Amino acid sequence: MKSPILTVQRFSLNFWIATILIVANLFTWAGVTAPKPYIVAPIRSPEVVVLLDHIASGDYAGETWEITLTELQAEQTMTWYFQRYPAIPFAHPRLKITPDYLNGEMDAVIAGLQVHVGAKVKITIKDGLPMVKILELSLPLPAPIRQAVEDQIQVELQRADLLPVRFTSAEWYEGKVTVRGIIR
């Protein structure tokens, strides 16, 4: 028969090992949760509003359009859409626009966990649609899940085909972008 003192000692040792593992796990997950959010007002860019109102009027028949957005205007417009469409699992975008790439970070809800993600992308126009090449992707996930998320991002980008516009060019500058296109 086992000694009750030995059984209590083993339970106590197992309890402390389990507690240490749980605490270590919590600290690990705390490292991937989102930092204090970067918050901007949810305001659509006036140029975007004018374009969308013109499209909604139905009076356009192949007209060209042009929109210039600063980093702040792009962040505010994205925030407006994220709040308007809560099914989009993103919030608090922060962008850095350069002539060579777009660097962005935001909070995302992935598998029910809010995490801070970042990406560095190169956006070009091909056949009237934006083509996004992911240069870097910061996702605090295991490699197979991360790859699945990257694949899904590419699938979602194909939805641009449903837009009522086609893109003809995008000129990237330090801190802003000018996009041109045709209304379908």
Q: Residue 136 forms beta bridges with which residues? A: 120
CA distance 137 to 152: 13
pLDDT at 182: 95
Q: Residue 162: pLDDT above 50?
A: yes
Q: Residue 31: pLDDT above 90?
A: no
Query: Measuring CA to CA, which residue among 82, 66, 157 is closest to residue 119?
Result: 157
Q: Residue 6: pLDDT above 50?
A: no
Taking the mean position of all CA atoms in its chain, how far away is CA 40?
15
What CA–CA distances, in Å, run from 121 to 22, 35, 83, 96?
A: 36, 22, 24, 11
pLDDT at 87: 82
| Chain segment 54-103, per-residue pLDDT in tens | 999 987 778 999 999 999 999 999 999 989 988 888 899 999 999 999 99
Give the amino acid at 71: E
In sequence order, what are the residues at sequence separation of 6 or more whose Cβ sits closer than 8 angstroms to the Cβ of residue 155?
none
Higher pLDDT: 97 or 126? It is 97
Q: Extract the tokens encoding 121.
A: 């992308």
pLDDT at 71: 97
Higher pLDDT: 150 or 17? It is 150
CA distance 117 to 119: 7
pLDDT at 8: 44
CA distance 145 to 151: 10
What is the pLDDT confidence band of residue 169, given thresholds at 50, 70 and 90?
A: very high
CA distance 118 to 161: 25
Residue 128, classified by CB atoms within 10 Å of its CB into exposed (0-12), middle (13-18) or buried (19+), is middle
> Can you say whether the dihedral through the CA atoms of 127, 130, 134, 139 is positive or negative?
negative
Taking the mean position of all CA atoms in its chain, how far away is CA 184?
27
Q: Extract the tokens encoding 59.
A: 């009076």
Give the amino acid at 104: G
